[in-house]
């Protein structure tokens, strides 16, 4: 069967992707109520947490009631998992009843149960453009970490053939792609770029002698420039998925590149990183996810990733809300004078001033009071008032502005250098 580009860009995998607003709300309510009831009954840790917060499952009536459950920080998992059997009571069954157990950095154990599509990536792969009969190459690691098998299972569900290549051996990878006429790539965008470079060094014509048509990438941030470079080099569609090793799939792109459609296997909130209180649509905050997973119910897991919710309709027809791009990590975000300052917001303001080559924010606290200095590299800057005005509009802070000659800031700079001390 020959696939045309059109076949890869249309269609949906499951009816859940096109529920209308009322149906979706109802679906989330039923899934959450069921999950909370089950988890409270069978997970020792969930019972303890709900009791401590005086959260009564019986009183869970609407989605906004979820905010009464304290958020679970990812780093708490390391400690909790060491607290006794069943991964410290986080699991609702014995470890021996599972299908696989992985270990990801932390170290954190990642259990996988014996159910179909446990990690929930099948609809994501379909949305990205994988179709039955594709020959695919998975370049994620298969040992200890869940990545390799996590992305192989959905391909099996879709009816694709998988070459479990794992990472490394670029030349062998390219030879496999040539000989098997591999259509689908699964890996990081930087590894796909590495393969392109290696193949070009060997004099291979990427469009004529390789047959890639679609790439599922994840695991790192990439620029739109990198995406279009790779798409052109190979003549393929490259789309990304987003998730964690703990919960599996959280979101994925469709053909229209409108952000990440939230997976239908999870309820996602965007919350204030300190208080866990849900924010309004469009506001930037931490991604807090509750996957409908009864085996390992990580309720309100804070991922440490920052994004925002976009509910505008998408041309693909999927009705799930979307996460805007992942704009950063909670731990690289500084809180200055009580305000969160996100590097991407500063970038947005400064990108309007073409004469600024590079910038850095320095935060100090002489006498216990936060002071913020914005360094900009520019040979002759004349728009100080305009810059300070726009900075204050967007960031809600008034920095001291220091214009320095190009080349003054060190080569490797953190966007926000936090030099505050507390003693
Ligand atoms: Zn879409």
The tally of domains found in the chain comes to 1
337 alpha carbon to ligand 1 midpoint, in Å? 38
Give residue 390's domain range: 334-418
The CATH number that applies at residue 394 is: 3.30.300.30
**pTM metric for this prediction:** 0.85
Please report whether residue 272 resides in a domain: no
Please report whether residue 378 resides in a domain: yes
**What pLDDT, on a 0 to 100 scale, did the predictor assign at position 342?**
81
109 alpha carbon to ligand 1 midpoint, in Å? 33
Q: What are phi and psi of 216, to 5 degrees?
A: -100, 115
CB 138 within 8 A of CB 95: no
115 alpha carbon to ligand 1 midpoint, in Å? 27
**What pLDDT, on a 0 to 100 scale, did the predictor assign at position 339?**
75
315 alpha carbon to ligand 1 midpoint, in Å? 6
CA distances from 179 to 1, 152, 182, 210, 287 (A): 18, 20, 8, 9, 42
351 alpha carbon to ligand 1 midpoint, in Å? 28
Please report whether residue 349 resides in a domain: yes
**What pLDDT, on a 0 to 100 scale, did the predictor assign at position 176?**
98
Nearest to residue 204, comparing CAs of 238, 170, 166, 229?
170
140 alpha carbon to ligand 1 midpoint, in Å? 26
55 alpha carbon to ligand 1 midpoint, in Å? 36
17 alpha carbon to ligand 1 midpoint, in Å? 10
Please report whether residue 23 resides in a domain: no
**What pLDDT, on a 0 to 100 scale, did the predictor assign at position 423?**
63
Residue 418 burial (CB < 10 Å; 0-12/13-18/19+)?
middle
Rounded-to-integer distance, Cα 370 and Cα 416, Å: 13
Report helix, strand or coil for 146: coil
Please report whether residue 357 resides in a domain: yes
316 alpha carbon to ligand 1 midpoint, in Å? 4
Please report whether residue 384 resides in a domain: yes
> How many C-beta atoms lie closer than 10 Å to residue 39's C-beta?
25
Please report whether residue 284 resides in a domain: no
**What pLDDT, on a 0 to 100 scale, did the predictor assign at position 88?**
95
Nearest to residue 7, comparing CAs of 213, 233, 217, 304?
213
Nearest to residue 123, comparing CAs of 297, 265, 309, 323?
265
314 alpha carbon to ligand 1 midpoint, in Å? 5
End-to-end CA distance of the chain: give it in Å, rounded: 69
Please report whether residue 277 resides in a domain: no
DSSP assignments along 178-233, one per residue? HHHT--EEEE-HHHHHHHHHHHHHTT--TTTT----EEEE-SS---HHHHHHHHHH
405 alpha carbon to ligand 1 midpoint, in Å? 45
Consecutive 10-residue averages of pLDDT for the chain (423 residues)? 70 96 97 98 97 96 96 92 94 97 91 97 98 96 95 96 95 97 96 96 97 95 92 98 96 97 98 93 95 98 95 96 88 75 87 92 87 93 94 89 93 86 73
Rounded-to-integer distance, Cα 66 and Cα 299, Å: 9
261 alpha carbon to ligand 1 midpoint, in Å? 7
**What pLDDT, on a 0 to 100 scale, did the predictor assign at position 2?**
56
257 alpha carbon to ligand 1 midpoint, in Å? 7
């Amino acid at each position: 069967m020959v696939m045309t580009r059109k076949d890869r860009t249309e269609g949906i995998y499951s009816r859940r992707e096109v529920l209308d607003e009322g149906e979706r709300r109802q679906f989330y309510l039923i899934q959450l109520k069921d999950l909370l009831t089950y988890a409270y009954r069978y997970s020792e840790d969930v019972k303890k947490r709900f009791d401590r917060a005086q959260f009564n499952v019986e009183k869970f009536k609407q989605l906004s009631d979820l905010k009464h459950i304290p958020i679970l920080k990812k780093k708490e998992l390391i400690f909790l998992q060491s607290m006794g059997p069943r991964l410290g009571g986080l699991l609702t069954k014995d470890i021996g009843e599972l299908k696989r157990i992985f270990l990801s950095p932390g170290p954190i154990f990642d259990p996988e149960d014996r159910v179909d599509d446990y990690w929930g990536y099948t609809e994501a792969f379909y949305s990205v453009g994988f179709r039955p009969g594709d020959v695919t190459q998975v370049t994620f690691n298969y040992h200890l970490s869940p990545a390799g098998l996590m992305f192989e299972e959905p391909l099996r569900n879709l009816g694709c053939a998988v070459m479990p290549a794992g990472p490394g051996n670029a030349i062998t990878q390219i030879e496999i792609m040539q000989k098997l006429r591999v259509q689908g790539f699964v890996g990081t965008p930087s590894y796909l770029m590495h393969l392109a470079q290696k193949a070009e060094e060997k004099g291979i014509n990427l469009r004529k002698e390789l047959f890639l048509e679609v790439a599922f990438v994840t695991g790192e941030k990439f620029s739109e420039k990198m995406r279009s470079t790779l798409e052109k080099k190979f003549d393929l569609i490259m789309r990304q998925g987003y998730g964690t090793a703990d919960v599996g799939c959280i979101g994925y792109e469709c053909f229209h590149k409108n952000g990440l459609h939230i997976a239908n296997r999870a309820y996602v909130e965007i919350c204030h990183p300190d208080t866990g209180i849900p924010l309004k649509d469009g506001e930037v905050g931490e991604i807090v996810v509750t996957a409908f997973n009864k085996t390992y119910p990580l309720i309100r897991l804070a991922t440490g990733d920052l994004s925002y919710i976009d509910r505008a309709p998408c041309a693909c027809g999927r009705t799930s809300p979307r996460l805007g791009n992942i704009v950063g990590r909670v731990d690289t975000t500084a809180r200055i004078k009580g305000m969160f300052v996100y590097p991407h917001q500063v970038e947005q303001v400064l990108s309007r001033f073409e004469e600024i080559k590079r910038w850095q924010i320095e935060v100090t606290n002489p006498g216990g009071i936060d002071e913020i200095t914005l360094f900009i590299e520019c040979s002759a800057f004349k728009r100080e008032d305009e810059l300070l005005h726009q900075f204050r509009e967007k960031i809600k802070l008034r920095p001291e502005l220091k214009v320095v000659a190009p080349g003054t800031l060190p080569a490797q700079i953190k966007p926000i250098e936090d030099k505050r001390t507390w003693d």
